[in-house]
Amino acid sequence: MDLLDELQTRVLCGDGAIGTLLIEEGIPLGRCFEELCVSEPDRIEKIHEQYIGAGARVIETNTFGANAVRLERFGFEGRVAEINRAAAQIAAKAAKGKDVYVAGSVGPLGISGDEAAARGIDRAQCFREQVTALLDGGADLIFFETFMDFEEMEIALRARQEVDGGLAICSFACAPGGELSSGMMLVEAFAKLRVSGSEMLGVNCMSINGPHGMVQLLQRVPSDYLLAAYPSAGSPKYHDGRFIYQTAPDCFAQSAREMVAEGARLIGGCCGTNPAHIAAIAVAIANLGLVAQ
């Protein structure tokens, strides 16, 4: 059974933030988190193991910013294949022998379409390069997350389809009312992506309103979509040199049930979440049993 088949009858639990845990472990914000997959693979593997132990059935690779554009600031633009392949191999190792799927995390490039054109950057090739390396390393699917621009998501999805046509989750970060950065509404973006062949859609981040805001947003989305929901743990507060997230695990548990009622089939966490949040989600949705269709 593959992920899509399983999601037809069950709600599954995703993992939580990797960067949040790395910062808590003392990794400085200015460090390239993705390069740790090569220099400190054991550290990343332990994080995957923590989330699997908490109940995650889908874990994401530590590669959100591992594209040539974002890696350039660290001088690592020539190491895209190396870093992404290593990241997927680490996650696959952590998942080996367990009933766990590995999702290759791919974030936006961090530049506008106009800037890409001015710099002569082929955005599709950037995505193809990263996706290919993640799949070579053992990723089962690709998770495009925190995209705020529809055009860029469309380019990313097309690039993924050109590689091998496998599963991609297309997840946006948007305003509380459902607006993307271009002004397009989330519902319109979802409809266009489904026409383009996307089999699974999603929303993640939502740091302003946290899991409660995610529930409200899902209420605006047609219930016939196969959805992933990965809210942040609320809006962070800066205190004593660190960011503190206020949303407690039990709040995530309650909101997870409400997200399922609004159509979510894969539920995890974004910024500020940790294994305690994921454990709470896993227990909450496990008790729901089979999904009523």
Question: 215: domain CATH number?
Answer: 3.20.20.330
Residue whose C-alpha is closest to residue 101's, from 88, 117, 85, 114:
88
Domain that holds residue 67: 3-286
In this prediction, residue 293 has a pLDDT band, given cuts at 50, 70 and 90, of very low
Q: Determine, yes or no, domain membership for 33.
A: yes
Check pLDDT > 80 for residue 220.
Answer: yes
The whole-number average pLDDT for the span 11-36 is 95
| Segment 138-181, tens digit of pLDDT | 999 999 999 999 999 999 999 999 999 899 999 999 998 999 99
What whole-number percentage of the chain has pLDDT above 90? 83
Q: In which region does residue 193 sit, left (phi positive, over 0), alpha (psi from -120 to 50) or beta (all else)?
A: alpha
More confident residue, 242 or 102: 102
Neighbours of 208 (CB within 10 A): 11
The pairing of strands 200-205 and 242-244 is: unpaired
- Classify residue 266: in a domain, yes or no: yes
Residue 225 lies in a domain: yes
Residue 293 falls inside a structural domain: no
Closest by Cα among 225, 148, 231, 209 to 183? 148
Residue 292 belongs to some domain of the structure: no
Query: How many beta carbons lie within 10 A of that of residue 5, not counting itself?
Result: 9
| pTM beyond cutoff 0.85 | yes
In a domain, 13, yes or no: yes
Residue in the structure block whose two tokens are 């132990």: 53
Looking at the chain, how many residues does it have?
Answer: 293
CA 154 – CA 4 distance, rounded (Å): 21
CA separation (Å) from 28 to 31, 51, 178, 200, 275? 6, 22, 33, 34, 21
**291 domain-assigned:** no
Tally of domains within the chain:
1
pLDDT at 237: 60
